């Protein structure tokens, strides 16, 4: 999808009915709008991390896309929602007796998370319609915008599908599999929107010709970044960060005991605390080593310019994220550090996409 869209650039500035330069102004306006949407998704990912870490995500047990935009307006409504919450295992096993004031504390964070999702939908739909009706959307971009809007709506449904899993018997949190699906779709939306905006602002493919090996490495790094983030979703989903709070060894061993104790073996990748945390550490370390290599190669081969700056930015963000990850682990995942770790992960994704974009060369080279 990304490559297909980049092929329609640059736009024809001689299109009948358009003044010279109009297409470029439209392109930049749409790009800045999409960057604002990407920033809102970034905040949404951070809010999602906070709701999970504080146990707030199960506090609203009703799926009400329209009426749910309003908070409880009376004591009777607060009591009704609290009574519903008291029927689920999370309350009975963890929060029993914390009172309606304790319920309000977790309710407001989840309500804010859902409200922000609704605002993203409006912030996408209304400007899209405005640009579209005024004829300012390039024809090649229209199908992508429609698809992104539909995927955004699907993300809301996936979010409820995830939350509903936390109401099942003996569960005090959502299914880690559904959590990772929800996270993965958020990253997909963010990545495509950010790439599209970047392609509107920088349509030219003028990366250094001598950076062929670096381009391959940047694509490998992008894969590692995504895998590391999804592996982090499983760490969060099964609370694997609350054990083995030592670094670089895991309780004195490089590979922890019981790494492959589950059967069938593949379940260790998603349900075994020791294996899930080890895999996340391994992927993060490979990403860090790859980013370090990219910086070394970039400094050695790239001239000063956008591509070199992108590589240095990637190295810096990966180093920052790795450091935050270690401190989050050593302190047994306090909510503020865990939220920061999830937010900076999106910064790493941003940096690797920016690097790939800056290294593009004309097709056929």
pLDDT, one tens digit per residue, over 243-299 is 999 999 999 999 999 999 999 999 999 999 999 999 999 999 999 999 999 999 999
Cβ neighbors of 288 (< 8 A, separation 6 or more) are 318, 319, 322
Q: How many percent of the chain have pLDDT more than 90? A: 83
CA distance 12 to 262: 59
Beta bridge partners of 126: none
Which long-range CB contacts under 8 A does 218-222 form with residues at least 24 apart? Answer: 218/294, 218/314, 218/352, 218/355, 218/356, 218/359, 219/356, 220/290, 221/287, 221/290, 221/291, 221/294, 221/314, 221/352, 221/355, 222/352, 222/353, 222/356
**Do residues 206 and 365 touch, judged by C-beta distance below 8 A?**
no
Chain mean pLDDT for the chain: 92
Per-position b or e across 191-213, b if 16+ CB within 10 A of its CB? bbbbbbbbbbebeebebbeebee
Instruction: Pick the more confident residue, 250 or 65.
Output: 250
Check pLDDT > 90 for residue 171.
no
Lowest mean pLDDT among 4-8, 58-62, 103-107, 179-183: 4-8
Helix axes 176-201, 142-165, angle to 10 degrees: 160
The residue-averaged pLDDT of 74-86 equals 95
Cβ atoms within 10 Å of 111's Cβ, excluding its own? 20
**Do residues 5 and 140 touch, judged by C-beta distance below 8 A?**
yes
Structure tokens at 17: 């009915």
pLDDT at position 1 is 40
The residue-averaged pLDDT of 192-208 equals 93
Query: Predicted confidence band at 66 (pLDDT cuts at 50, 70, 90)?
Result: confident
**Do residues 237 and 225 touch, judged by C-beta distance below 8 A?**
no
Check pLDDT > 50 for residue 9.
no
Least Cα distance to 343 among 153, 222, 183, 218 occurs for 183
**Rounded (5°) CA angle 296-224-145:** 110
């Amino acid at each position: 999808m990304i490559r297909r869209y980049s092929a329609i650039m640059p736009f024809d500035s001689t299109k009948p009915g358009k003044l010279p330069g109009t297409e470029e102004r439209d392109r930049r306006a749409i790009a800045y709008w999409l960057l604002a949407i990407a920033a809102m998704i970034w905040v949404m990912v951070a809010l999602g991390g906070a709701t999970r870490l504080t146990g707030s995500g199960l506090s609203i047990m009703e799926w009400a896309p329209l009426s749910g935009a309003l908070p409880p307006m009376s004591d009777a409504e607060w009591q009704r929602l609290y009574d519903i919450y008291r029927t689920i295992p999370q309350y009975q096993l963890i929060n029993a007796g914390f009172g309606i004031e304790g319920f309000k504390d977790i309710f407001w964070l989840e309500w804010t998370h859902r409200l922000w999702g609704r605002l993203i939908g409006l912030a996408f739909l209304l400007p899209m319609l405005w640009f579209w009706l005024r004829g300012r959307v390039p024809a090649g971009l229209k199908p992508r915008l429609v698809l992104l809007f539909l995927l955004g709506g699907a993300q809301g449904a996936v979010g409820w599908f995830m939350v509903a899993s936390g109401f099942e018997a003996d569960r005090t949190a959502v299914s880690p599999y559904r959590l990772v699906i929800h996270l993965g779709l958020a990253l997909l939306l963010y990545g495509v929107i950010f790439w599209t905006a970047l392609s509107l602002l920088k349509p030219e493919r003028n990366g250094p010709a001598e950076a062929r090996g670096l381009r391959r490495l940047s694509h490998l790094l992008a894969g590692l970044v995504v895998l590391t983030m999804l592996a982090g979703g499983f760490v969060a989903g099964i609370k694997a960060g609350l054990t083995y709070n030592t670094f670089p060894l895991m309780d004195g061993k490089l590979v922890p005991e019981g790494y492959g104790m589950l059967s069938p073996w593949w379940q260790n990748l998603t349900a075994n605390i020791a294996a899930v945390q080890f895999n996340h550490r391994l992927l993060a370390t490979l990403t860090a080593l790859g980013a370090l290599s990219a910086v070394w190669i970039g400094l050695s081969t790239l001239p000063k310019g956008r591509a070199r700056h992108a590589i240095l930015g990637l190295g810096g963000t990966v180093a920052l994220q790795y450091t935050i990850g270690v401190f989050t682990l050593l302190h047994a995942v306090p909510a503020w550090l865990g939220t920061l770790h999830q937010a900076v992960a999106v910064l790493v994704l941003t940096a690797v996409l920016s690097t790939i974009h800056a290294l593009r060369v004309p097709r056929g080279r």
